[in-house]
Amino acid sequence: MARTVTTQRKSINTLAAWSVGLLIFFPILWTILTSFKSEATAIADPPVFLAFDWTMENYSAVFERSNYMRFLWNSVVIAGGSTLLGIIIAVPAAWSMAFVPSKRTKDILLWMLSTKMLPAVGVLYPIYLIFIKLGLLDTKVGLTIVLMLINLPIIVWMLYTYFREIPGEILEAARMDGATLREEIFYVLTPMAIPGIASTVLLNVILAWNEAFWTLNLTAAKAAPLTAFIASYSSPEGLFYAKLSAASTMAIAPILILGWFSQKQLVSGLTFGAVK
């Protein structure tokens, strides 16, 4: 029997949840609002919330100051490329772990995850040297490879937990009906695995998009993504709040919109497939 809820109780819940939600969201909201103010209004005392002259001047100033489109393009290529590459390498691995498990499967998974705990800064200089040797410094290819490697353990782990949910009996049934391995993979497994792969892709695009150690340290001018674009607005330009806000809004907008539209897959992705 479902519990009946009084309207009064529901109202209190709604009020509390909305207050907390808005409080958590407030820094982002404030940044977006400030990006439409003039610099003088942005630091007005007391602060102005909505009643100001909305202006687009900060956005055009940011466009003039830096080549936003190039940073954006670099972010798209690096985040997309590293995720795609990671999926291609991780799918067979996760597949075999889920369907042909051995005694060591769990150890291998935990070992993979533990490589993520290695402090990046400890290997910064060696990677830097290797990158110079191979001509990869400040290139999108180099950064794509590094981000693929640092996210690979998470991709494998997530795919493994999703694949494990697919019942083996279905495969056996397909086999008995005379399906070849290829048919089995394309017509039986893939359709069932698509939602899991989609969630994995989504979460990893976000992680790669927001990665801010390797992207700051291995790029200069050519391959710098949006994380570096925004770091260049650190002091002293940071004092220009409205322009800083416009640049910030432009840096987070693509992923914020992507995340909101794909909320459902993302929530399941965020739990790394491990919580139901």
Among 137, 143, 201, 266, which residue interacts with other proteins (rule: CB under 8 A)?
Answer: 266
CA-to-CA distance for 87 and 91, rounded, in angstroms? 6
Binding to other proteins, residues 222-261 (CB under 8 A)? 226-227, 230-231, 233-234, 238-239, 241, 244-245, 248, 251-252, 255-256, 259-260
- Which of 140, 211 has the CB closer to other proteins? 211
Q: What DSSP assignment string belongs to 84-124?
A: HHHHHHHHHHHHHHHHS--TTHHHHHHHHHHHTTS-GGGGH
Token pair belonging to 94: 């996760």
What is the per-residue binding string for other proteins in 155-174, x denoting contact by CB under 8 A?
-x-----------x------
Q: What are phi and psi of 47, to 5 degrees?
A: -60, 145
Binding to other proteins, residues 48-87 (CB under 8 A)? none
- Which of 58, 268 has the CB closer to other proteins? 268
Q: ∠ CA 156-162-167 to the nearest 5 degrees?
A: 130
- Which of 112, 136 has the CB closer to other proteins? 112
Contact region for other proteins (CB under 8 A) — 50-58, 60-68, 145-153, 184-192?
Answer: 145-153
HSE-CB of 49 using CA atoms within 13 angstroms: 3
- Which of 198, 255 has the CB closer to other proteins? 255
Among 60, 65, 106, 170, which residue interacts with other proteins (rule: CB under 8 A)?
Answer: 106
48: left (phi over 0), alpha (psi -120 to 50) or beta: beta
Q: What are phi and psi of 176, to 5 degrees?
A: -65, -30
Q: Which residue has the tokens 């409080």?
A: 23
Q: Could you say whether residue 180 binds other proteins (CB under 8 A)?
A: no
Token pair belonging to 129: 């040297």
HSE-CB of 226 using CA atoms within 13 angstroms: 24
> Residue 202 CB, nearest distance to other proteins (Å)?
11
Q: Could you say whether residue 127 binds other proteins (CB under 8 A)?
A: yes
Q: Total number of residues binding other proteins (CB under 8 A)? A: 96
Among 56, 110, 170, 194, which residue interacts with other proteins (rule: CB under 8 A)?
Answer: 110
Q: Could you say whether residue 132 binds other proteins (CB under 8 A)?
A: no
